[in-house]
Structure 1
Amino acid sequence: MSPTTTGTDLRAVAARIAGYVRPTPLLRIDGLPGIVFKAEHLQRGGSFKSRGAANALLGLGGGDVVAGSSGNHGIAVALLGRALGVGVTVVMAEGASSAKEAAIRGLGAHVRHAAGGVAERDRLAREHARRTGGRVVPSSDHELVVAGQATVTLEVLDDAPDTDVVYVPTGGGGLLAGACLAAEQHDRPVRVVGVEPAAARRYARSLAADRPVRIPPPDTIADGLRAQHPGEVPFPIIRRRVDDLVGVTDEEITHAMRLLHGAGIEAEPSGSVALAGALRHGFPGRAAVVVSGGNNHTRKATP
């Protein structure tokens, strides 16, 4: 059984990665009472992905790494690789953000392209790692990555322990699985709600079928949430603990992003998905919304 299903010490994980990530604040927006926003767009590398990347690279030891990424995970791995003196190759799928690719290259990583969706991207990343002897660092489907992402919700519940519900954007599932782990270790009940783009409901469909379901490459503005199937590590954690899954349209995501930008929170579309879900859901009680990233084309990812 995976260590992430048997009580990973998330405090130890947080201590391990502390020198490579920053604690992010909880923000509030006038006109949206009862919600706090976990500002992972202010994280190193511009997204929560730095947490899982740090835990994975520190836990796996030395040697070059290969990552399949829509952008933010690649930025995070490239940033950590540069800090640790590790060579990084990032494989990006067709339609990935050119601005994020430029950021990855600017951090010294090599970029390769896959002529297909996320599934083809990840296959090529594994193939490249086998050919070169590199280690694969998945964007979500790895015990160390999930445990690193769990520190997002761990911080939320430390800073706002009376939180009733946490809304989490959901792609590959690492952030949502991490939220589930943190909620299990909290000393009072907290609901965990995953939010998926309506065109990419791989977790909702998989939970309904009680088995992992693969979907075609989805078309959604949320470029970081285009995973085609649940990860082997996140799926059983999410199946065991998640309270609800919500689907939101691109129009709802765009509306949420405009609300965030109007309040000075420079979220990208994927980072706005959780708010879109909270608005659709009605955010009963004290709600926390994870703003997972802010690497817009107008904003450069920074260390």
Structure 2
Amino acid sequence: MTAAGTRLDHADTATRFGRSELRLGHADVLAAAGRIAPYIRRTPLLTAGSLPRVLLKAEHLQHSGSFKLRGAANALLALGAREIVTGSSGNHGLAVAALAGPLGVAVTVVMAAGASEAKARAVAALGARVIRTGGGVAERDRYARDFATRTGAVLVPSSDHELVVAGQGTVGLEIFEDAPGTGTVFVPTGGGGLLGGVCLAAAGLTRPVRIVGVEPADTRRYARSLAAGHPVELPPSDTVADGLRGQRAGEVLFPVIRQRVDELVGVTDEAIVHATGLLHEAGIPAEPSGAVALAGALQHGFDGTAAVIVSGGNGPAALAARTSAG
């Protein structure tokens, strides 16, 4: 491992770990695409003159403001639960809350103390119950699991759940359908649901494509877990990318990412802020978490054409506008 990136040898990982641990496949993403189609927006691939050979997958234009709607929709529709609980830094909670009303589902969203207050208010404005906890993301998720056990609510994690991962994978399906010549996909990586989903989507391709996960430099849970050979838990962090503060690699996601991701790179907060500014100058109002993949592409470089996932646009102004409109 280097400070900048972790290259993965798939032949070696397949030999050491086999494929028996995988619980998901390309078919799960295809099933999710059919299930969630009436509830999501097929987002475009945008270009910017200042970013040559880069295609920007505009998930900031998704209903609820981020890609999280895809996984939330797949889980809620497939599970059919009447009451759910989830832990969220904000965007997953917004997605679940936005769907819950029309589907008649009661929702409790557990948010860590350091989570965005603007996102917490927006989640509550959608009718969800919001519970704030101390500590970081790991403590938040433990509280949500305990809440599910105590109340009988169904737990829908923000990332580490088969249905959530399959739903997030539809981002990758759309990229590969709309831009079949894409050579590299840069994926922002926090809990890992989007990265794992794109890996599953790529499993259906007959041509090679590189998948690069991009983590904030101080929260490299997947790079460190791959180095250790098992999921590890990191201390809480305060990266500017507030949606990517997860502390532990997912049990469902770890084998998917271990066997398919080509490289993991880390980017500093300064690089993330720079990438956010470039997107804003191009008329794309990404939040910092949504600019992490671009920061990785700028730092890492690539051959040919790259797709960069702009994963969300739930900055303070967008949240305020959505709340007042609602």
Superposition TM-score, scaled by structure 1 size: 0.97
Of the three residues 57, 63, 70, the one matched with 2:82 is: 63
How many angstroms apart in 1 are the aligned matches of 2:81 and 2:72?
14
How many angstroms apart in 1 are the aligned matches of 2:60 and 2:218?
24
Q: Residue by residue, what CA displacement relative to the aligned partner does 1:27-64 show, whole Å, maximum 9, x if unpaired?
A: 00102111100000000100000000000001111320
- What secondary structure does 1:232 align onto? coil
1:181 has 2:200 as partner = yes
| 1:188-227 → structure 2 map (5 Å cutoff) | 188-227=207-246
Q: Residue by residue, what CA displacement relative to the aligned partner does 1:177-211 show, whole Å, maximum 9, x if unpaired?
A: 00111111122111100000001011011111111
Tell me which moved more, 151-160 or 178-187: 178-187
Contact 1:2 1:143 in 2 (8 A): no
Q: Which runs of 4+ in 1 moved over 4 A?
A: 1-4
How many angstroms apart in 2 are the aligned matches of 1:260 and 1:168?
16
1:276 has 2:295 as partner = yes
Q: For residue 103 of structure 1, what is the aligned residue in structure 2?
A: 122
Specify the code of the residue in structure 2 equivalent to 1:94. Answer: A
Tell me which moved more, 11-20 or 83-92: 11-20
Q: For residue 279 of structure 2, what is the aligned residue in structure 1?
A: 260
How many angstroms apart in 1 are the aligned matches of 2:23 and 2:182?
23
How many angstroms apart in 1 are the aligned matches of 2:126 and 2:34?
25
- What secondary structure does 2:86 align onto? strand
How many angstroms apart in 2 are the aligned matches of 1:170 and 1:117?
17
Specify the code of the residue in structure 1 equivalent to 2:195. Answer: L
Q: For residue 267 of structure 2, what is the aligned residue in structure 1?
A: 248
Q: For residue 191 of structure 2, what is the aligned residue in structure 1?
A: 172
| 1:64-103 → structure 2 map (5 Å cutoff) | 64-103=83-122
How many angstroms apart in 2 are the aligned matches of 1:83 and 1:216?
37
Specify the code of the residue in structure 1 equivalent to 2:240. Answer: I
Q: How far apart are 1:4 and its partner, in Å?
A: 4.3
Q: How far apart are 1:6 and its partner, in Å?
A: 4.1
Q: How far apart are 1:3 and its partner, in Å?
A: 7.0
Name the CA shift for 1:32/1:6 in 2 (closer, same or farther; >3 Å): closer
How many angstroms apart in 2 are the aligned matches of 1:41 and 1:112?
26
How many angstroms apart in 2 are the aligned matches of 1:254 and 1:218?
17
1:40 has 2:59 as partner = yes
Structure 2: unaligned runs, 5 residues or longer = 1-19
Q: For residue 53 of structure 1, what is the aligned residue in structure 2?
A: 72
1:112 has 2:112 as partner = no
How many angstroms apart in 1 are the aligned matches of 2:231 and 2:157?
17
How many angstroms apart in 2 are the aligned matches of 1:11 and 1:126?
29
How many angstroms apart in 2 are the aligned matches of 1:140 and 1:298?
26
Name the CA shift for 1:237/1:218 in 2 (closer, same or farther; >3 Å): same
Q: Residue by residue, what CA displacement relative to the aligned partner does 1:101-146 show, whole Å, maximum 9, x if unpaired?
A: 1110110000001101000000111111111110000000000000
1:16 has 2:8 as partner = no
Percent of residue pairs bearing the same amino acid type: 65
- What secondary structure does 1:19 align onto? helix
- What secondary structure does 1:228 align onto? coil
Contact 1:4 1:147 in 2 (8 A): no
How many angstroms apart in 2 are the aligned matches of 1:215 and 1:111?
25
Q: For residue 237 of structure 1, what is the aligned residue in structure 2?
A: 256
Q: For residue 293 of structure 1, what is the aligned residue in structure 2?
A: 312
* Total equivalences in the alignment: 303
Contact 2:84 2:156 in 1 (8 A): yes
Tell me which moved more, 293-302 or 119-128: 293-302
Q: Residue by residue, what CA displacement relative to the aligned partner does 1:235-292 show, whole Å, maximum 9, x if unpaired?
A: 1000000000010000000000000000010100000000000000113221000000
Tell me which moved more, 267-276 or 293-302: 293-302
| 1:141-180 → structure 2 map (5 Å cutoff) | 141-180=160-199
Q: For residue 155 of structure 2, what is the aligned residue in structure 1?
A: 136
How many angstroms apart in 1 are the aligned matches of 2:189 and 2:28?
23
Q: How far apart are 1:9 and its partner, in Å?
A: 3.9
Contact 2:21 2:255 in 1 (8 A): no
- What secondary structure does 1:229 align onto? coil
Structure 1: unaligned runs, 5 residues or longer = none
Tell me which moved more, 286-295 or 184-193: 184-193
How many angstroms apart in 2 are the aligned matches of 1:222 and 1:142?
22
Specify the code of the residue in structure 2 equivalent to 1:266. Answer: P
